Every structure is written in structure tokens, then in C-alpha cells.
Amino acid sequence: MSNTLLAMEQITKVFPGVRANDGVSFDLQAGEIHALVGENGAGKTTLMKILYGLQKPDSGTIYLRDRATSIRNPRDAIAQGIGMVHQHFMLVPPFSVLENIVLGEETQTTGVLRMEQPIEKIEQIMNQNGLPVDLKLPVDELPVGLQQRVEILKILYRGAEILVFDEPTAVLTPREVEELFKTFRMMKQQGKGIIFISHKLDEVLNIADRITVIRRGKVIQTLPREDATKAKIAELMVGKPVLLEVKKQAVEPGATILEVRNLRHRGERGHEVLEGTSLTVRAGEIYGIAGVEGNGQSELVQAITEPLKLEGGDILLQGQSILSWDVRTRRDAGIGHIPEDRQRFGLLLPFSLADNLTLGRHHRPPFVKGSQWIDSAKVREYARQTIEAFDIRTPSETTPAHALSGGNQQKAIVAREMSFEPILLVASQPTRGVDIGAQEFIYSQLLEARQNAKAVLLVSADLDEILSLSDRIGVMFKGRIIQELNRAEATREKIGLSMTGGEQSETL
């Protein structure tokens, strides 16, 4: 019998407009830790969803222990020995560790719970894999690292041979990461196979036996640990530049508009999300934040655009601290925001386009007369002007926002934020899910803002976008800007390396 636990061959999965997985082949041996590495949108998540039964491949085969098989749903996956530890835990907070582990798989006689057998079995698993946890404690009282342990115990209890970990160290402290890796090594010895998804190359090089790099839906290369260096992997991850010629005129940057000083923020799970983030943006420049998602970019944007509980640091707009200001005050002061999830945050979908275009400024003249009366004539007029100026494709200004295409919805948001004439524009993933035409248009708008002496903070997981537009680039990793470069000195390789942890010598 071979040692191959899992083989995925020529897996292809196509969604409208994008080939998430394009002929991906991947295998996992018993007693191996195999890391899966790639940027956001590269296709790792889709591949794992297929493995876990949450998606069906369009073509390709999955072999478990050399037998072709199909995985219909997550319960099927568990039954076949595949266990997944998600980023967001699936635990019942008030239940004890023991209850969480046995839920759905309980031992009982005529309906009455019997816990002696499970306890014995779990203790054995805990010993074999180095996962001690107090079974009686309620799960919501455990630190994140131990909660993760409960998730691992859950899948081991159900007999998982193949364990998939999706960015498991994102919420862990360094010590908890060490503990986790100890566990990995012990599970290795038990003959289990581990798939480890991460973009933190330090960790990957620490623990993995083999590393597979995925980019744009294809496997670029699978290397054994001995052949891998950070630089090499980073290069494979970011690849060759995509030619997107954007004409940029030289603009002399002006006064400092935004200053972020040493922000510290703890997330809801208690872990450090922002660990001393600092940056400045001047009028007439685009500052691009590069980095893999999940390194604190969203929280940074949140801290700038709305009141966020901070453990330390300050944010200054034209020299004034804005920490105590609510959203309306920040907007009135000139902060514009293109949100990263337009449907969830940016638009009232059932409302008309005209209403959406005034959203955020709807409380001020000329849209209201005397602070309460809506001047619908002015609203419509402004809407019509804006639609024309920004070339938003819509039957009329009264069309509900949900009827517009994704690209036009995003254009509407950009149009709105631009026409309120902000002094600082925060753009978060501004061209996500947007067609090429709208994308070019949005780029030109951002450049025009820069031209008009606005300060633009651009956050994007798309490295090409950052490189095309930015004057200065900051790489965000683990809640800090660890590297700052001028556009002239920035290369894909340098940035790619920093995005994944970088060389310590190049930190700020």
C-alpha cells in the first residue's frame, strides 16, 4: 500500500469570469506536512472547499488512498477521514470542551448521554498528539489557541487522517504558534497528513516538508523544503508583472494630510491585530498599502474611517486627532471612503441610485433645505449630473441600486465619494469584482484625485494595482508597516518578499 493519502488530479473549477482552479494537481503523503501558498484569489480556498465537499469540481479526480472518490458534502468529507480547521471556529460557546467534541457523534444508551467512553478516547488522542485541554471548561473561557485545539480534537475524534488548516496562525500568539507546530509534528508521527495554508513564509519554512505555490488558479511549482528559500517562493507567488500601462503625471506632493501614529488594536478574539502601525500620506500623493489580506489592513481602514477601540496610538487629519470623532464628523471633515465590500457597506441596494449618490451627504445643503426637508429636485439634478460625468450605465437615476452591474455600482460609489470633494480618500479594494472598463475608469479617477492635491490611501491585495498607481508603497505584515518604498525603488520581488514576512533587515 502506498503512502499517498490524497491525490487531487487536474482539478478545474470555473466561476463566471474566473478560473479559480485550472488543472490543479496536488498530493499529500502520510506523515507529511504540505504547505499550500499563494496570494489572495490564487485558488487555495477553492481547492480546499472542493476537498471538503463545499464545492464540486468541474473536472478532475480526487483519490483517497489511491481510490477514486467523490466528496458530496462536509459530512461526507469527515466520514472519509478529511478534517478541516477553519479560520472561524465552529464551536458552541457555552458548552464544555467535551460537549463540543462529541456533539453530533455522541455515545448514548437509549438517548442518555454516556461520556466515559468518549473521555477515554479523547484522552488517548490528546496524549498521542500533544493536545492537552481541560475537558470540563466552557469553550468561551478558553484562549484562542486552546479553542483551536478543541477544533483539532473534534476532527481527530472523528478519525481524520487528513487535516487541513486554513491560516491557523492568524489569531495565535507566537507561543501558541509554537505549541501548534509541536502538535503538527506529533500528528506527523502518527502518520497523519497535514495541509497547511499560509502566506507567512517563516512559518512555512519552519514546519513544511513540501511547499506548493499556486497563482491565478494554477500550480506553479511544488518544491521540497530543502530546495526552498523565501526569496524563491515569493518570486513564484507574485510572478511576472502584468502589463497595465497607466499614465502618471509627475505631481509635487504637498502638506501631510493623514498621519497614523503607532496604532495598537486588539481584535475580538483578544489577539493583536494592529501592532504599532504608522504611516503618513501627503496631499497629491497615492500611498498604496500592499500585503496579503488579514494582516490588519481592514482594521486600519476601519480605524481611520470610524471610531474603533484602540489600545494605543493616534490618527491625525491635518494635524488634528480624529480618534474621538464619529463617522459623520469625519466625513464632514473631508474623509471619503470607498469600502471594500460595496454591497454590505457602500450601497442601500433597494434605494434609487439618486438616493445612494447622496448618501453620506444627504443631511447637508443643497440636498436638504434647513436641515430636515429633502430637496428632491436638487437630489435628482445632482444625480443626473454625476451619472453623466462619471459615465455610470443605468436606465435612469431612479433605478434601484441592486439593478446595476457590479462595475457600475462601484463607479457610483467612487463617483459619490469623489464628488463630495474629500481631502483624504481611503480606497479599499476599489476594483474587486469589477470589469476591465470600470477598472480603468476608477484608476483614472484616483489619479485625478491625486492631481487635485488630494491625499489617497489605497489598500489593495492586487499587487499590480498598487504598483500601477502608488507614489509610495507600504507593506503591511502582522499589523505593522514593515517596509516603505518609493515607487521608483519598488520591485515585485522586494514587495512580494516583504508581504510574506520579509528579511528582518529591511524593517522600518
Partner 1 sequence: MDLSILVDFLFKGLEISAPIAFAALGAVFSERSGVVNIALEGFMAVTAFTIVWGSIAFQSIWMGLLVAIVSGMIMSLINAVATITYRVDQIVSGVAINIMAIGIGRFLSQNIFNQETQSQLNPYLFPTVFGINSFAFALIPITAICWFVLYKTRFGLRLRAVGENPEAADTLGINVHLMRYAGVTLSGVMCGLAAGVLYPAKWVNGMTGGRGFIALAAMIFGRWHPVGAVLAALLFGYADTFRIMFETKIPIPSQFVQMLPYVLAILVLIGMMGKAKPPAADGIPYEPGE
Partner 2 sequence: MKRFRIDKYRLMELLAPVLGFLASVVVLLIIAGIVGESPGNAIRAILRFTVSNASRLASVFSVAIPLFISGLAVAIAFRAGVFNIGVEGQYIIGGLVGALAGIYLHLPKAIHLPVVVLAAMAGGALWASIPAILKITKGIHEVISTIMFNNIALALVNYLVNGPLSGRGEQSLEPQTRKILSTALFGKLNHWFQAIGLNVPNHVYLDYSLIVAIIMGILVYILLFRMRFGFEIRSVGTSIDVSRYAGIRVKSVQLGVFLISGAVAGLIGTQEIFAIRGHYTFEIASGLGFDGIAIALIGRNSPIGVVFSAILFAFLKQAGYGLQLYTSVPNAIIYMITGLMIIFIVIINEIVTRYIRALRKKEAA
Count Cα neighbours of 85 within 13 Å in the Cβ-side half-sphere: 29
Percent helix, percent strand, percent coil in the chain, to nearest 5: 35, 30, 35
Instruction: Pick between residue 42 and residue 50 the one whose CB is nearest to partner 1.
Output: 50
* Residue 103 binds: one of partner 1, partner 2, none (C-beta under 5 to 8 A by kind): partner 1
> b/e per residue, 409-437, with b = 16+ CB within 10 A?
bbbbbbbbbbbbebbbbbbbbbbbebeee
- Counting contacts by CB under 8 A, is residue 372 touching partner 2? yes
Should residue 346 be labelled a site residue for partner 2 when binding is judged by CB under 8 A? Answer: yes
- C-alpha dihedral over 11, 14, 15, 16, to 10 degrees? 180
Least separation in angstroms between CB 360 and partner 2: 4
**CB-wise, 238 or 347, nearer to partner 2?**
347
What letter represents residue 40's amino acid? N
What does the buried/exposed string (b/e) look like for 249-288 if buried means 16 or more CB atoms within 10 Å of the residue's CB?
A: eebebeeebbbbeebebbeeeebbbbbebbbbbbbbbbbb
Contacts with partner 1 in 36-75 (CB under 8 A)? Answer: 74-75
99 near partner 1, judged by CB under 8 A: yes
Place of cell 476599489: 430
DSSP 434-471: --HHHHHHHHHHHHHHHHTT-EEEEE-S-HHHHHHH-S
The footprint of partner 1 on residues 73-92 (CB under 8 A) is: 74-75, 90-92
Pick 80 or 394: Cβ nearer partner 1: 80
Closer of 147 and 352 to partner 1 (Cβ): 147
User: What does 488 interact with, of partner 1, partner 2, none (CB < 5 to 8 A by kind)?
Assistant: none
> Least distance (Å) from partner 2 to the CB of residue 329?
8
- Encoded one letter per residue, x for contact with partner 2 by CB under 8 A and - for no contact, window 392-431 reads ---x-------x----------------------------
Round to whole Å and give the CA distance between 66 and 311.
Answer: 52
> Least distance from C-beta 95 to partner 1, angstroms?
7
Nearest approach, Cβ of residue 151 and partner 1 (Å): 10
- Told to check if 246 binds partner 2 by CB under 8 A, we report no
Residues 27-86 that bind partner 2 (CB under 8 A): none
Are 105 and 157 in contact, with CB atoms under 8 Å apart?
yes
Applying CB under 8 A, among 118, 360, 422, 479 the residue interacting with partner 2 is 360
C-alpha to C-alpha distances, 63 to 2, 69, 122, 220, nearest whole angstrom? 12, 6, 29, 21
Q: Is 355 in the site for partner 2 (CB under 8 A)?
A: yes
Q: Which of 16, 17, 111, 350 binds partner 1 (CB under 8 A)?
A: 111
Burial (Cβ within 10 Å: 0-12, 13-18, ≥19) of residue 495: buried
Question: Within positions 148 to 187, which residues make up the interface with partner 1, using CB under 8 A?
Answer: none
Among 1, 112, 243, 377, binds partner 1 (CB under 8 A): 112
Contacts with partner 2 by CB under 8 A lie at 305-306, 326-332, 337, 339, 344-351, 355, 359-360, 362-363, 368, 371-374, 376, 395, 403
Contacts with partner 1 by CB under 8 A lie at 74-75, 90-95, 99, 103-106, 108, 111-113
